[in-house]
Chain A
C-alpha cells in the first residue's frame, strides 16, 4: 500500500490568518500530485495538479509547492476566510492510479 500522508489532520484558525498544510508521498515512480478541496455535501473539486519538481501554482489566495525529490507538497492559504472551511485532500497519481491522503479539515472562524 502506497502511503500518502497529510498533516495536520484538522486545523482551526481565525478569519484573516494564513495557514499551510503538508502532504508527503512516495518520491519513487512519481508522476503527478493533485490537491482537491472538499466542502460538506459537495463533491471534491480540483485545486491544482502538479507534475514538475519545484512547481508552484496559485489560484487566488491559495498556492501550492512541490518537491518530488524529497516527496512533499505544501498548500498555503493566505488570509483565510470562512468560505475556505473544507477538507483539503492531496493525491499521488501514476498512470491510472490516484491515491489520496486522509485529508486536512480546516475550520475558519469569523
Chain B
C-alpha cells in the first residue's frame, strides 16, 4: 500500500517558534508538494520539489522554506511561526510526469498561539 506520512497530525506552537513539518513517501516519487488548506480557499501550493535538493516556490511561499536532502523526505519550515499560519498542511507526492495521480498525507493541523 502506497504511503505518504506526515510526522504529526496535530501541532500547537507559539508565535515566533521555528516549526518543522516532515513528510516521507515510500513510492520513489520525484515530485513532492506542500499545500495549506483554509476554509473557502481550497489547497494552495506553498512549495514543491521535482528532485533532490531542488525546490520551487508555489503561490504562497512567504514565511516558509523547504528542504529536500533525500528523495523520500520533504520538510516544510516555518522560520518564525505567526498566527496567520494556523492552518491544515497537506503534503503530497507524485511521479515526475503529471499524467498519474498524486498521493496525499493525512494532514497536519497546526495552531499557532
Interface range for A: 20 to 34
From B45, B58, B97, B101, give the contact of A95 (CB < 8 A).
B97
Contact of B42 among A32, A51, A94, A102 (CB under 8 A): A102
Interface size class of B (residues with CB under 8 A): 20 to 34
**Is A89 in the interface zone, CB < 8 Å from B?**
yes
Instruction: Determine the chain B residues whose CB is within 8 A of the CB of A99 once the complex forms.
Output: 45, 59
Of the residues A45, A89, A97, contact of B48 by C-beta under 8 Å: A97
Chain A residue nearest in CB terms to B101 = A46
A93 and B59 within 8 A (CB): no
B113 in the interface, Cβ–Cβ < 8 Å? no
Inter-chain contact B42/A49, CB cutoff 8 Å: no
A34 contacts across to B, CB distance below 8 A: 98, 101-102
A96 touches B90 (CB 8 A): no
**Pair B104/A43 contact, Cβ less than 8 Å:** yes
- Contact bitstring A78-110, B, C-beta under 8 A = 1, else 0: 000000000001010111111111110000000
In the complex, chain A residues whose CB is within 8 Å of the CB of B45: 97-100
Q: Which residues of B contact A42 (CB under 8 A)?
A: 106
Which residues of chain A are near B101, meaning CB under 8 Å?
34, 46, 49
B74, CB-defined interface residue at 8 Å: no
With A89-B42, A103-B42 given, is the CB distance from A98 to B98 under 8 Å? Answer: yes
Binding site for A on B (CB under 8 A): 4, 30-31, 33, 35, 40-45, 48, 50, 56, 58-59, 90, 92, 94, 96-107
